[in-house]
Structure formats: structure tokens, C-alpha cells
Chains A and B, each alone.
Chain A
Amino acid sequence: MTPTELPLSHPGRSAALAQSSAEVTAGEVENVERALIDASTRVPVLMFYTSAIVWLLIGTLLGGFTSFRLHMPDMFSGIAFLTWGRIRPAHMNVMVFGWASMVGIGTAIWLMARLCRTTLRHPLLLVGGAALWNLGVLLGVGGILAGGSTGYQWLEFPRYAAVVLFVAYTLIISWAFMMFRFRRAGPVYVTQWYLIAAFLWFPWLYGAAQVMLFFAPVQGVMQAAVNWWFANNLMFLWFGSIALGTAYYMIPKVIGRPVYSYHLAAIGFWTYAFFASWTGMQRQVDGPFPAWMVTASIAALIFTIIPVATVGLNHHMTMRGYFPLMRYSPTLRFTVFGAIAYTVFSAVGVLISLRSLARYTHFTQASIGFSHLGLYAFYTMVMFGSMYYIVPRLVGREWRYASLIKLHFWASTYGVSLMILMLLVGGLVQGISMDNPALSFSESTQSVLPYLRGRSVSGILLTVAHFVFAFHFGLMLFGLGRTDRVPTFLNPQQEAQNTH
């Protein structure tokens, strides 16, 4: 068996289908059907992907600028919109709402269509949604650069941009539920749980945060509580759900085995929803809040070990014996990296929020490292993997250069690993100096500077990775991919067949 398109539409039935040669014709019918479904999603998904990649490039440049400015503070000090405190929120919001949300929605549309086994109706609704979403991000980033930031983390977009985003989102979600409504009968797959949940949680989170911060604002520190409840849940419940759902689809799909255990998947899903949603306040440990709020979040974060362990175990057992396939399949390589990063993300999250360690990591670069661990090493890598799988099925071409995919993977992997290492270790060093009142405060910033320079180096690696990927994606978009029946493997396919 090769890691190519498998004659299975539903991972749960793969074993039955593979055993019975009498159903091959049925498999062929499904292949045609699936091609039709893929074709119906082509325009909106490619639109989301293209926008996402443009935002990714913009966000990468802004991020690099932020990073370099930290150790070269005198650059452009006379220009208001290039000041560090505006570029940094612009970078964050471009990444969160431009890149991560758009690529996630793109992947989710495609997965939903596939799993509901129904063609996409009214794609124009989605195209309109994507256009409006782009407009919202553009307005928001422009607003931040012009000095209109609201001052709440991950919610810096001025109110008018938030309204546009919300309208765009309504268009997108109405479509998603329409598709779910018209789905072909059959069990609802794990991926669908995560996606439906994500699609319901996002408007709740975003709407509740907007109302409680802007339309009927809460008092004083409660704003910060709402803010962190929102930001953390956006990471866990929106991005995390999309990425976990995607991994639950891609890993079984690529290796051609069903998910190891549905019971584990169910436990993982519900404990995730239950515990991850309570985190957030650990980001304000020992702040001016009732202690029980922070403690509840820390406890919830510790309990997220349960979903992490079950999901990790499930993926691991599914992959068992198939790890060598990572040598060939780009999708698998990125997805498995992301799935492992999810475990690391949670473990680091638990560690740095324990009060004894938070004393040193709180208020330092470690929290930036933690954010990148979640949003990049986990989420973005899974999304890259899904794009390597989905884009060829949309444009009818295969990725042109295996070498570029490899370059993308290694530059991303080394880049993000170096970045996280630098930020976590640097943050710890910074925090230890900061905790010692005998050292002057600037000792703490001085002690972290070498690590920030290292982080800038990692930013260069990531920039290379993203531009390579964007170039490759552009080739695909303009029909310059390979017209082969066989997907692009990272290493010669001959070897791939021999392993089994």
C-alpha cells in the first residue's frame, strides 16, 4: 500500500473495504463522487488559502521586523506607524486573523464537504465571506498601524473591523451548517465533532468578548479576565479544535488505517472541551484577581493532560508501524510534527503556569515562546500538512518540486524549534534575573538579548520557509504543477512501495 490516495472515503470503514475486493467498483464510484465534491469546493477553498498565504507573508515580515527591533531599538524611531508597539500587535493579529483563521476555515470547508459527502452549495456565499474577512483584517491592521488599537490582546482590531469580521464569519458559518444539514447519512466522524465545535465556539468567544469589552464593558480587571478567557480559548477551542480535527482526518487518511480507538477519541474530545475552555487566567498568575480564578485555570490546564494523553495515544497507536511513511508523505510529516508539538505545547503550558515556575517565567519572553509553540509548531504545521494534501486535489496538479517541500519542512522545523528554545530558555534566564532584586532591572533585559538575537535568526529561517512555500503554492495556482497521477513524495516513490 502506498501513501497515495486510498480507495476509502471514510477512515472508519477502511478495514472492511480493503479486505473485500468485491467492493472495488463501489470504491471507484466513490472516487468520482469525491472528485466532484472536491471540485465544488475549489474556488472558495483556494480563495481562503491564497488570502491566508498572502497574510502569512505579511505577518512574517512584520514579525521579523518586531524581532529585530527588540535588539535594534533605534530603527525608524521617527515614524509613528512603524513603532514597535504598533508593529507587534499588527503581526499578532495578521497571524491570528489573517493567516491562521483563514487557512483553518479553508481546510475546514474542504474537510466538511468531504466528510458530509455532499457537494458545496452556494459557493458564492463563501467567496463573499472570504472577501469580507479579508476586508476586516485589512481594516483592522490599518487601524492598528494608524494608532486605533483597542489595547486588548488579540482583540486589538478597532471596533469597525471587528464588526466586519463578525459579518463575514456569519456568512461562512451559515454555509458550514447548511452543508452539515445536507450531509449523507452515516456516523459523524471525530473530525466533524471538532469542526462543528470550533464553528460554534468561535462566534461565541468573539461575540462575548466584543460585547463584554466594548458594547457593555465590564469594570476594571474583569476586562483583563474576559480578554484572557477569550485569547486562550481562541487558541485552544478555535485553532486547537481545527488542528486536532484535521490531524484526525489526515493521519488515518494518509496511512490508510482507521483511527485506533473511537472511545479514546470521544474521551479526548470531551475532556478537551471541558478542561481547555477553563484555561486562560494562568496568564495572569498572582495578578489582581481573586486567587481562585487563577487556581481554577491552572488546575484546568493540568487536567488538559488527559485529552493530550488520549489524543496523543490515539494518534500514536494509529501510526504504529507506519512511521516510516513520514519519509515520503509531506502531509504526514507536517501533521505528525504538529501532533507531537501539541503534546509539547500542553506540557510546557502546564510547567510554566505552575506557581513555583511561573515566578520565573511570568512576564517574560517564555510566554511568547508558549504562544508560538501553540500557534506555529502545533497549529500552523498541521495546516501546512493539510494544504499539501488538499491543494493538489483542488487544482488537479501535483506539487512540482519535492526539494521545495523538503526545504519548507526543514526551514520551518528548525526555525520554529530554535525560536521556541530561544524564547523559553531566554525567558527563564530573564525571569531569574528579574526575580533577584539585587540585580538592576536592565540586567534582566540585557540577559535575554542574546536569546532575542537567536530568535531573529530563527525568524530568518521561517521567512525562507514561508516564501518557498508561497512560491510553490503560486506554481500550483497557475497550473504549473506536475500532471502526474502519483503524488509528490519527499523521497523516490520506489522506496515507498518497498517498505510494505
Chain B
Amino acid sequence: MKDLMPLLLGIAGTLFFSWAGLTLIPNVQIGHLEPQMDEEGNDAYPLPQSGMVERGRKVYVANGCVYCHTQQVRADYAGSDIDRKWGERRSAPRDYIFDRPVLLGKMRTGPDLANIGKRAPAEDQNAAPAAVNSPTPASASAPAASAARGGSSPAAGSSLSPAAVAAAAAGNASPSPSATAVANLPVAGASPPADVAAVGNSPAASAAPSAAVASAGSSPATSAATAASSPAVATAGTSPAASASMITTSPPATAPSPAVASAGTSPAPSAPAAANPAANAATSLDAAPATGGPLQYSAAWHHQHLYDPRSINPDSIMPAFRFLYDKRKVSGQRAADAVQLVGHDSARDGWEIVPTYDARCLVAYLMSRDQSHALNEVKSVTPPSPPAPGKAAK
């Protein structure tokens, strides 16, 4: 028995040491964080989420999304997360204080989702004002923003196309942070089945399918780093700063061009125009839908993606979550949130595919993923603060 005590004590002691070292002590350090506020006690971040979002988290957990998707952005020196536009700064413990279970993930069989909600087109967050203007034929056929916003533009600096330059210029010229630039635009929603297309009501927008205009709102964060090589970008803003910079910096872009990406505001003949060869060739998830679908990362886009991932990206290996959707006969009008399918999978006449409540919660959860709020303890890579020396250039 005498030689047994050291054994048992050693066994208990070693595990206690690691238990204390890796869980108890860090818990003192980062286990009791409060939301961050400004001096006046406003602008709290993060905030507890709504019930729908929390239910969506359960759906996310139940279906094992975490086994393929992380929700963490590494610092710029540790990986290319920030270069991939998955976030503007690295994630910090404070970002997760209300998350239970916390879903950091350990695999990236699919892209990171830490800021998937941030990447959503702003229309979705401002759905009410957006619906004010009813679509006129002119605006419906306008080269609206879906392709551009969705990121088929080779924006973000890796390309030298005029459109990209214009987009960047517009983003910089706007006095407001780029995140809110789009929200400030009085955009018009199109008809319900296509409520995702942003249509500007500036003269430039109605001026036609031939006008390629840089999107003021597509900040580098919302655009794909490398996508289709089509220079086609389209949107219209009434923000003077934005349109001014567009006009001044990209006169060639206003010339009629076959590469104009026409938005899928309607299932009308204009949709195929978006399917220019370059867009079709793009195999990236980051690429815009080849034919007029919902705006990338909008709620409708998420529903279509969950229902049939390969209709958006043929190379995706994400499982389809069809059990989250109901197929039912249309009674009266089509449901506003029915999944807009294109091609072979579109529901037959008289039928529609509508998301269940769980699916809507899941999408609400995805749309809530946003770590763009600045944290005092973390250096942001992009403005509002001036770029950090050295690092930002990468």
C-alpha cells in the first residue's frame, strides 16, 4: 500500500494540473467577459440573439453544420482568412460570449461562416424601405446589382479591371463606413419572386442594360477575391459621392458591353444575359449564380443553397437539406419565400417548395453571424481606422 499512495497522488495531480491549467485558469482570464460598449454605454457588442436565431443555432447543431464550417477568423499572419474576405479582423473571445454551444468548428470542408451574415446584401436588412418603389419595366430590366453584389466582379484588387477600380474607388469615396454604404441607398426592391434584386432609381440605372456601373456598396468585404473574370458590374446608387466617383473613375465602363451582367430580377429573357461565358466558367462558390438567382448570401439565396447546393455551385460537396423544406401545392398566390429554383429542379407548375420554420430559423441564424463590429482588443485590418502599417498591403 505504501508505494500506492504516490501513484494515486501522481495520477490525480497530473490531471489536476492540466485541468487547472487549460480550463480553470483560462476561465478566470476569459470566462467572464462583458459586452463592449462605448463611453455613453451605447453600441453594445455583442448582443444576445433573438429566439429565432437561437432556434436556428439548434438546427445548425442538430444537422452537424459544425463538422464542415468553422466560425472563426484567424489573424492575417496565421492564415489567409482575412485575405479571403471571411472577416476584417480576427475573432476574439468576446465575439462568442453569448454562444452556447460555441461553434468554432475545426474543419473547413466548407467556407468559414463567422461573417456570413455580414456578407448578406444590405437589402435584406432593410427590406421594409426597399419595398417602397414598385418596379417599373425600366428598373426591372436595369442592370441591377445581383451579379455585381454577389461578387462576380473581380473586385478587391486582384484584378485591374476598370469596374474593380471603380468599386474600390466608390467604396473609399463614400464618407460612411463601407458596411453601411448600401444601406443608405434608397434602393428599390423588385417584385416578390425577385425581391432580392437591387434596383437603383438613379438615371444611370434606368439608362439601360448596357451600362456597367460599379457598385458603391460592394466593399471589398462583400466581393469575391477572385471570381469570374467578367468585368460586368452593375448597380446604381443615388449617393452623390458614389455615383460621382463611378462616373469619374470609370468612363469606359459605361460603354455598351456584351459582358454586362444583367440581374435576375425576373425570370424574363434578360436573365440568360448574366450567364456570360466567364460567369459560367467560374467554378467558385464565390461566383454569382450563373443564371438569375437570388442575390448571393441573401435569405433567398441561403434557402436555395440549402435546398440544392449544386444549383448554385456545381462543385459544392455540401449535402442538400431537403428535409428542411416542404413541397406543397400552390394555393392561391405563391408563397413569398418559396425557394426559387432554376433549371431541372424547379418545382413543377402548381407546386412550390417552401422553407419550414426550422429552415427559416437556420437562415436567420446564418444571417446573424457577423463579427464586423470593431473590438478594442483586436486590431482591424481595414478601415475605419487607417490601415495598419505593413500588414494591410498583403
Spell out A's residues near B (CB within 8 Å).
Answer: 69-71, 73-74, 77-80, 83-86, 88-89, 147-153, 187-188, 193, 196-197, 200-201, 204-205, 208, 212-213, 217-226, 229, 233, 237, 270, 273-274, 277-278, 280-281, 283-290, 293, 296-297, 355, 359, 362-365, 367-368, 434-446, 449
Contact = CB atoms under 8 A, between A and B. Distances in A.
B14 A274 contact: yes
Contacts of A289: 26, 30, 93
B393 interface: no
A277 B104 contact: no
B103 to A, nearest CB: 6
Interface string B71-110: 0101100111001100000111111111111111111111
A80 B84 CA distance: 32
Nearest to B283: A442
Given A367-B107, A434-B80, A225 B319 contact: no
B104 A71 contact: no
A252 to B, nearest CB: 20
Given A69-B319, A284-B104, A435-B80, 11 more contacts: A74-B310, A86-B62, A152-B101, A218-B31, A220-B93, A277-B18, A285-B78, A288-B90, A362-B79, A363-B108, A440-B286
B26 A290 contact: yes
Most A-side CB within 10 Å, residue of B33, B98, B105, B108: B108
Nearest to B94: A220
Contacts of A153: 106
B63 A86 contact: yes
B11 A229 contact: no
Contacts of B30: 219-222, 289-290
B357 interface: no
Closest 6 CB pairs of A and B: A85-B64, A440-B284, A147-B62, A437-B83, A77-B320, A277-B18
Nearest to A200: B11
Specify which of A69, A226, A278, A284 lies most central, judged by the most chain B CB atoms within 10 Å of its CB: A226
A102 to B, nearest CB: 23
Nearest to B307: A77
Given A188-B3, A208-B19, A440-B285, A151 B91 contact: no
Contacts of A442: 283-285, 313, 315-316
Contacts of A86: 62-64
Interface stretch (B134-142, B220-228, B297-305): B220-228
Contacts of A286: 74-75, 78-79, 90
Nearest to B318: A73
A150 B101 contact: yes
B348 interface: no
Contacts of B17: 274, 277-278
Contacts of B65: 85
B23 A212 contact: yes
Contacts of A70: 109, 317
Contacts of B78: 285-286, 355, 359
Given A88-B64, A147-B62, A152-B101, A237 B285 contact: no
Chain B interface size, as a band, is 35 or more
A224 B104 contact: yes
A367 B309 CA distance: 25
A150 B61 contact: yes
Interface of A, helix, strand, loop or mixed by DSSP? helix
Interface string B98-125: 1111111111111100000000000000
Contact of B111 (A193, A229, A364, A441): A441
B137 to A, nearest CB: 36
A73 B321 CA distance: 10
Contacts of A446: 283, 315
Interface in B299-335: 309-310, 313, 315-323
Nearest to A219: B31
Contact of A222 (B11, B23, B70, B79): B23
Interface string B24-43: 00110111110000000000
A78 B62 CA distance: 15
A152 B66 CA distance: 9
B128 interface: no
Contact of B225 (A69, A285, A434, A437): A437
A222 B320 contact: no
B309 A151 contact: no
Query: A77, A290, A359: which has the most chain B beta carbons within 10 Å?
Result: A77
B90 A151 contact: no
A151, A200, A368, A443 interface centre (most CB from chain B within 10 Å): A151
Contacts of A212: 23
B157 to A, nearest CB: 11
B22 A80 contact: no
B102 A221 contact: yes
A363 B107 contact: yes
Contacts of A89: 64, 67
A441 B286 contact: yes
B309 A73 contact: yes
B22 A85 contact: no
Contacts of A296: 21-22
Given A150-B61, A362-B79, A445-B315, A77 B321 contact: yes
B268 interface: no
Contact of B322 (A77, A270, A273): A77
Given A85-B64, A224-B104, A297-B22, A273 B10 contact: yes
A340 B4 CA distance: 30
24 contacts: A69-B319, A70-B109, A85-B319, A86-B64, A147-B63, A149-B64, A151-B61, A151-B101, A151-B103, A201-B11, A201-B15, A218-B31, A219-B32, A219-B97, A220-B97, A222-B27, A277-B17, A286-B79, A288-B91, A288-B92, A368-B107, A437-B225, A440-B226, A442-B315
B11 A196 contact: yes
A233 B18 contact: yes
Contacts of B31: 218-220, 222
A77 B227 CA distance: 28
A290 B310 CA distance: 39
Given A188-B3, A290-B30, A197 B22 contact: no
Nearest to B95: A288
A373 B90 CA distance: 31
Contacts of A69: 319
Contacts of A284: 104, 106
B376 interface: no
Contacts of B84: 437, 441
Contacts of A79: 323
Contact of B66 (A77, A151, A283): A151
Nearest to B90: A288
Contacts of B70: 363
A280 B101 contact: no
A274 B21 CA distance: 12
Contact of B323 (A78, A274, A293): A78
Contacts of B64: 83-86, 88-89, 149
